[in-house]
Structure 1
Amino acid sequence: MLECAPAHAVGDAANAADSGTLARLTGAFNGWRHSGLTNEGEQYVAGYPRPPIDRGAQRFRTLIEGQLKHVDPHARRPPMLVVNGNPTPLYTDEQGFFARPWAFGAGSNSIEIISADGAKRQRMQFYEADRSKPQARLRAIVTWDDPRAQVDLHVITPSGLHAYFGNPTLEDGSGFDVDSVDGAGPGIFSSAAPEHGTWLFFFNYWGNFDSTGYNFDPSAHDRDVITATLTLVFNENTPNERRETRVVPLRKIGDLLLVKSERL
């Protein structure tokens, strides 16, 4: 769950009671920090279509929780949640509750909620002062746009180490800080000291799931073509930060695509 940190938020989301806001975020608006819990030990407010199921190391995960004030069941697209410039569809339950995991780095971070029609925005900025965890020099983030599909990120290091949901942490200290299988992700792989050489990033359309659990029914999804996004972030929250984005279509269960080959 989210906890208050000794930081100060700024922006139009600073007052949760403001009638103009899009959502009520759980907890005070003065920053968040990792709760120290992992895997199923977290307490969830809500998720879509059920409380989030997480795999992987979940080492530095923080939950972004709250409730949209207005939910339009007929909207052609969902609202968007943008974390540090990374957009992902914000799927909720019927009451508008949501819970999305993220891994925040030290320094300045931002969260923005954009209404489904794009007309309204709610944003907050906060400073993460906890430097007890390694600062990621490389992050690989996967998100997708189907709440009933499960997409996995696979990372191959230059020395041949393979990180994925079945092997979330590697011998070099890198690994998955977040590996969410609830709706649109995210999966977040991080490395504090990325090895020099060629890194490979793959997407696998693993299967679908609903309130009954996982399934491999080829029709049990919301979109015929799932749009999955890979974002690579280098030197996050520093003056040298840069990012690259790749968007790929996934059409059938079992699809395994090489999305990016990156030489560091």
Structure 2
Amino acid sequence: MRRFFPILIALWATTAWAEPSAELQEPTGGWRYAGLLNRNDAPQVAYPTPPIDRGIQRNRTPIEGRINPPSGPRTPHILSVNGGPLNLYTDDAGRFVRPYAFGAGSNSVEVRSSEGKSLKRVQFYEANKQITPARIRVVLAWDDPKAQLDLHIITPDGQHAFYAHPALTNGGGLDPDSVDGPGPGMFTMTAPLHGTYLIYVNYWGNYSASEGFNFNERSNQNEVITSQINLVLNENTVDEKRESFIVPLRAIGDLLLVKTFNY
């Protein structure tokens, strides 16, 4: 038995070393600070490097960190922002940057392993008085970093928010509309019109480092792409309500109605 003892110790050490860990940039000013980054230089999005971000860039914040060991292309970690999960992929060094437009009030960011274990959590209070709480927020994410999905929103006055028309005259808009891997795409409205809203998801095409944006049916990673759409009403208030929808997409060009709701 003694001769096996060093082997057992080595196996235990290997297992312990393989336990995932996460780093997450935290607010520099403590609890009451607008934003997550504690440095002034703009980070570079890690996986894959996006050529553009078509959102209207209103109040976005990069969520930046590192995971060890890095996530593989088929086993993403989870980034949970205010309870809404997003697939989180990294570069080869484990780095990640995801854009998000935080609302006023208390916000939380958590990195979880692919098995659901919490690796790192940051809670902060957005006290910037220029940021109005989001009354309607729709967040789109998906599980294929080589596919490009788009969020489409029809507002009660007939306006259509999508990648080619991100900003609406009624105050709503897409921000961010990330084309970096699996999203997020986000629609936000701080002073919603009363009436009926329509939420659609579109499988626009694929993206690869060799082909760029393309419509090659074989250049995506998964045969069936699973999208998740989170609808949040009256975020960060006592009247907050959340709904989540899982929508499978199989073919480029699929355009599916996810939800019709009244505000």
Shorter chain as normaliser: what TM range? 0.7 to 0.9
8 Å CA contact 2:45–2:98 kept in 1: the answer is no
Task: Answer yes or no: is the 8 Å Cα contact 1:56–1:166 preserved in 2.
Answer: no
Q: Which residue of 2 aligns with 1:235?
A: 234
Map 1:120-135 onto structure 2 (within 5 A).
120-135=118-133
- Give the match for residue 4 of structure 1: none
Partner of 2:10: none
Q: TM-score, normalised by structure 1?
A: 0.84
Which of these residues, 178, 181, 198, is aligned with residue 180 of structure 1? 178
> TM-score, normalization: structure 2?
0.84
Distance in 1 of aligned mates of 2:116 and 2:244: 21
- Give the counterpart letter for 2:180 in structure 1: D
Written as runs of structure 1 = structure 2, the 5 A alignment for 1:82-161 is 82-161=80-159
Shift of 1:227: 0.6
> Alpha-carbon deviation of 1:44?
2.4
> How far apart, in 2, do the equivalents of 1:117 and 1:222 lie?
21
CA shift, 1:142, in A, is: 0.6
Which entry has the higher C-alpha Rg, 1 or 2?
Answer: 2
Q: Which residue of 1 aligns with 2:7?
A: none
Contact (CA 8 Å) 1:111, 1:123: kept in 2 or not? Answer: yes
How far is 1:45 from its partner? 3.6
How many residue pairs get aligned? The number is 238
Aligned residue in 1 for 2:254: 255
C-alpha RMSD over aligned residues: 2.0
Overall identity of the aligned pairs, in %: 50
Instruction: Name the residue aligned to 1:22.
Output: 21
Q: Which runs of 5+ in 1 are unaligned?
A: 1-19, 36-41
Q: Larger helix proportion, structure 1 or 2?
A: 2
**Aligned 8 A contact 1:22 1:120 in 2:** no
Aligned partners of 2:51, 2:108: CA distance in 1, in Å?
22
Q: Judging changes above 3 Å, is the alpha-carbon distance between structure 1 residues 98 and 256 closer, same or farther for their aligned structure 2 residues? A: same
Partner of 1:33: helix, strand, or coil?
A: coil
Q: In structure 2, what residue type is equivalent to 1:159?
A: D
In structure 2, the residue corresponding to 1:133 is in which secondary structure? coil
Amino acid at match of 1:130: N
Match of 1:208 among 206, 209, 213: 206
Residues 166 and 46 of structure 1: is their aligned pair in 2 closer, same or farther, counting only changes over 3 Å? closer
Match of 1:165 in 2: 163
- 1:212-260 deviation per Cα after TM superposition (whole angstroms, max 9, x unaligned): 4211110111111111111110110011111111111000110000111
Structure 2 distance, partners of 1:27, 1:52, is 27
